[in-house]
Amino acid sequence: MMATSWPSAAGDSVSVASQPSRVVLASASPRRSELLANIGLAFEVVPSDIDETDHPDEDPHAYVRRVAINKARAVDADDADIVIAADTTVDVDGMILAKPVDDDDARRMLTLLGGRTHRVHTGVAVRHQGRVVSDVATTLVTFVSLDPSLLDWYIATGEPHGRAGAYAIQGAAALLVQGVHGSVTNVIGLPLELLDSLLAEVGVSLLGLLTP
């Protein structure tokens, strides 16, 4: 089959024999689905069912990369398919802040974040033609000081539930954020610039997969 040259989103040329038969998102996250749908990518959602418990003394960077790789490997897909997996966590002084179990846990996490800068890590893994490639994007996020009334209001929105670090930057939590240094899509849950780079590594152009 004749190879076709497609540009990556970064402008580099990627030569591929053919585009994958389908794209699989190994995540049930509505935020990740929305990011991909907004750029015109057609995909199927096939969530991975894996143990996401962190290992003793595992640092947040290594944790999200490991979980993303395991998610990509766990999905039932053909070699010609491309599987996209990701995992996001909030890191405060090396402490992993996952999803809160209840309102009290959300308050604890948000109190840790208030008035300071923390890191958001997203591990991304791409599986295609027997290969799994992965990397991690990190963004610095600074919160305003959170007084009790602001905390009460935000927790009452219900938004902290199901979110790493108990907040969603694209939602009401925008009021809590003083500044962001790095990828915003990373904080939402899927750094698109890193995804483009990983796809290019396995010979696939992100732009070649998109529809206007």
Active-site positions read 87
Amino acid making up residue 168: A
At residue 159, φ and ψ (nearest 5 deg) are -65, -30
Reduced 3-state DSSP string for the chain: CCCEEEECCCCCEEEECCCCCCEEECCCCHHHHHHHHHCCECCEECCCCCCCCCCCCCCHHHHHHHHHHHHHHHCCCCCCCEEEEEEEEEEECCEEECCCCCHHHHHHHHHHHCCCEEEEEEEEEEEECCEEEEEEEEEEEEECCCCHHHHHHHHHCCCCCCCHHHCCCCCHHHHHEEEEECCHHHHHCCCHHHHHHHHHHCCCCHHHHECC
Dist. CA 36–CA 134, nearest whole Å = 18
| Two structure tokens written together for 40 | 């015109």
